[in-house]
Amino acid sequence: MNLPRGAVMAFGVTSLATLASASFVSLAAAQTPIVGSAEANPDNWPARAATLAPDPAIERRIDELIAAMSLEQKVGQIIQADIASVTPEDVYRYHLGSVLNGGNSDPGGRYNASAKDWLAAADAFYAASMRANGKLPRIPVIWGSDAVHGHNNVVGATLFPHNIGLGAARNPDLIRRIGAATAIEMRVTGLDWTFAPTLAVVRDDRWGRTYEGFGETPEIATSYAAPLIEGLQGKIGDKDWLRGPHIIATAKHFLGDGGTHGGKDQGDAQMPEAELRDIFSPPYLPALDAGVQSVMVSFSSWNGVKMHGNRSLLTGIMKDRWNFDGFLVGDWNGHGQVAGCTATDCAGSAVAGLDMYMAPDSWKELYRTTLAHVRDGSLPTARLDDAVRRILRVKLRAGLFEAGKPSSRPFGGRFELLGGAEHRALAREAVRESLVLLKNAGRLLPLRPGSDILVAGDGADNLTKQTGGWTLSWQGTGTKRSDFPNAQSIWEGIDAEAKAAGGSATLSVDGRYTRKPDAAIVIFGEDPYAEFQGDRPDVGYDDAKNLALLRSLRAAGIPTVSVFLSGRAMWVNPFLNASDAFVAAWLPGSEGGGVSDMLFGKADFRGKLPYSWPKVSDQTAVNVGDADYDPLFPYGFGLTFADKGELANLPETRAAAAAADPGLLFAAGKPGSGRRLMLGAPGALSTNPGPELIEARGADRAAQEDSVRLRWTGAGLAVAAIVQDAPADLSRQSNGDLALELEIRVDEPPSADVSLVMGCGSQCAGGFPLRAMLAEAAKTAKWTRIAIPLRCFEKGGVDMTRVETPLSIATSGTLDLVLSSARIVSPSGPALKCK
């Protein structure tokens, strides 16, 4: 946005205090109406014996510990706090049993904190848990982390393909070795527990976590569960089980997370018990057989009842029928979605069978209310003791009581192993095995040695796009090339391969060239996302720029290979038609050289589709075995170089997607369709400018990171703006008395004037001062609604027929606020009055 200094227009406003006090209470998650029984009958489920017989020495020691523990200490053991909201001193004072780092939580609040910082933080939390506290026994804290495709929260770690790619590989031994490598890299930084593997069976590809699932049937996840867990934990009976190079693993998310109606994250799996059992539970049985020590409970519901409160499944099936003797851990404040609960008060979840609450930012008040529930009997002491026993059992099995501080344990501080040559070679092998060849007309692949190759597309030299979500940040966004010191982009791999084969490669993202190449490789696909924000209305892929590029290359007679980066199977008919060869590369991780290996024929393609490929853009739930099964490419499809790779021209008519809300500027943690959140100095906005002037981080309101925290540093004039991809005509909305409505919480009042501005191009803007209103809102620290009629902006000089920036907030001072939503709507309450 090109906003001239001093361009803000002032408006008269009425009753600022009244508006600032129009606050919002915490949003309770609505329970989906029950459509069938949510009570599992154990007799309908396979029975299994306990994986391990009780160890008398361990059980005796647990008895001694529980007898010596205070009630406060017991409650602390069943609560897990996020490192962004807890300190080592808190762990000591409240006896917390565990900490975690959420997808956007890092030591010192820096997404690119060094490995040394991670290890130092692990030492600090451990030391706090072991510091003498009267006569109370010392119980070591455990640190959990979402290491879902390598140790993906740490700069320099090896990043393996996401599970969707590994599912295409169909190689259990490869999976075992990946688990072992991930465990070692976690041990290097002092962490001892991963929230992996994800054993979801994904039935609707609209789900934003599709790429975390190995496939659409239980087959692949069931074959992978045991080897991956044994790679992470070691084998039962071995001396290094859960110790040395190994860590604690987690099977997740129990149960039905990939089967929610409409593919909605945290949604409702509406199905009979037999379907829940037969499709979604099979991978858990080999996981238990391999000795997995923790199981994470799903955010989702089954027939309207939240899993975090479903006793029949948590206790009746997992613990009683399947004899699981480890512990059940919750997901990010998931207990707060149980009927009758909040994130800070939920005895019902523990009564249902949850052993450890994941209470990232709610832990302190949850600790207080849980203590009260034990004292008044609403959380029985026997249930509390059982949860504590399970947590202690895992800690004792892992040898944590005698292990010493994390930096002193085997592999602690051996930073050369992060992204080391052996692990990177393994990741490159995994990439090679994960790629699926969908088209190869005229046997264009493998590319001929000595060829002059044009490399184009916005994914070519883009490690942010190549690595996907859950990479240094929750959604995988906001990273830059320097954050991947031990990685190779796909372009870098192609460049090296082309030169080694006696040819050449030229990078031109937009596809321009001065000399006609022998062939072109265009790399494109989905931008990074993760759960919740990654949900889609359909599976149609839209990318006008790269489609035009492919068509222009085809028109010029240049043989073209498409390399498609995605976290799900998608309708790409126009792109298939415009390409001579088409490779589904999924989200390959840090080793782009694995892609180039395949393009140049260092190995033959062996990857097979783990998900059926849609024939039309609204074919969102197409699964092998369906009565009307009719995909473009079936489950298990994948060409080799020897196969005939021609493909008949495909229909390109896109089924209409679910209409995007044109009035939605920001909600659910992300900008609305066709809009971007841009930050920085006026005239120099970008999506990731660095924290010098302004910083944006995910924040929680009703769900994990469904809001954004904006913090101005005061180092200079800085702007946070929602920018349109194309100008919008809001004149009708202005005439109709619609308003710009914001829901915000002010955590730190502004230290200087603040302007709320709407922009309509160069030297075209209007707005009004916001400082007084924000200062008033800061006094309550509650969610506050602010509504400004669009006609106020129009009167201030905004050309409503060409709005480019419907929302921007600018200040040269300090300010800390959380934006939950921004919409252009009919005001839901009082609105400002303009002159």
**Cα Rg of the chain (Å, integer):** 27
Is 591 among the residues known to form the active site? no
Which residue is catalytic, options 216, 433, 531, 535? 531
- Alpha-carbon span 142 to 678, nearest angstrom: 38
Which H helix or E strand runs over 429? Answer: helix 421-434
CB atoms within 10 A of CB 820: 24
Nearest CA-CA partner of 37 in 295, 338, 275, 281? 275
Q: Are 153 and 182 in contact (CB under 8 A)?
A: no
- Using alpha carbons, list the distances in angstroms from residue 703 to 104, 144, 200, 361: 14, 20, 20, 12
Residue whose entry in the numeric block shows the structure tokens 């803000």: 8
Q: Are 453 and 497 in contact (CB under 8 A)?
A: no
Nearest CA-CA partner of 669 in 687, 693, 688, 696? 696
DSSP letter at 588 equals: -
- Alpha-carbon span 386 to 78, nearest angstrom: 10
- Using alpha carbons, list the distances in angstroms from residue 55 to 65, 691, 764: 15, 52, 74
DSSP 1-46: ----TT-PPP-----HHHHHT-EEPPPPPPPPPP-S-----GGGS-
Structure tokens at 517: 């190449």
Q: Are 784 and 744 in contact (CB under 8 A)?
A: yes
Nearest CA-CA partner of 353 in 294, 298, 309, 302? 309
DSSP 594-654: HHHHHHTTSS------SSPBPSSTT--S--TT-TT---SB-TT--B-TTS-B-------PP
- Using alpha carbons, list the distances in angstroms from residue 820 to 579, 782, 817: 42, 12, 10
Backbone dihedral angles phi then psi of residue 184, each to the nearest 5 degrees: -65, -45
- Alpha-carbon span 772 to 774, nearest angstrom: 6
Q: What is the 3-state secondary structure (H, E, C) of 265-321?
A: CCCEECCCHHHHHHHHCCCHHHHHHCCCCEEEECCCEECCEEHHHCHHHHHHHHHHH
For residue 99, list its beta bridge partners: 81, 143
- Alpha-carbon span 376 to 397, nearest angstrom: 33
Which residue is catalytic, options 331, 706, 741, 804? 331
- Using alpha carbons, list the distances in angstroms from residue 476 to 416, 464, 776: 24, 7, 35
Is 192 among the residues known to form the active site? no
- Alpha-carbon span 758 to 790, nearest angstrom: 9
- Alpha-carbon span 380 to 428, nearest angstrom: 51
Contacting residues for 551 by C-beta, under 8 A, at least 6 apart: 578
- Alpha-carbon span 677 to 663, nearest angstrom: 15
- Using alpha carbons, list the distances in angstroms from residue 520 to 552, 558, 767, 822: 11, 7, 48, 42
- Alpha-carbon span 213 to 163, nearest angstrom: 6
Helix (H, G, I), strand (E, B) or coil at 205: coil
DSSP letter at 103 equals: T
Contacting residues for 239 by C-beta, under 8 A, at least 6 apart: none
Residues annotated as catalytic (active site), given as ranges: 331, 531
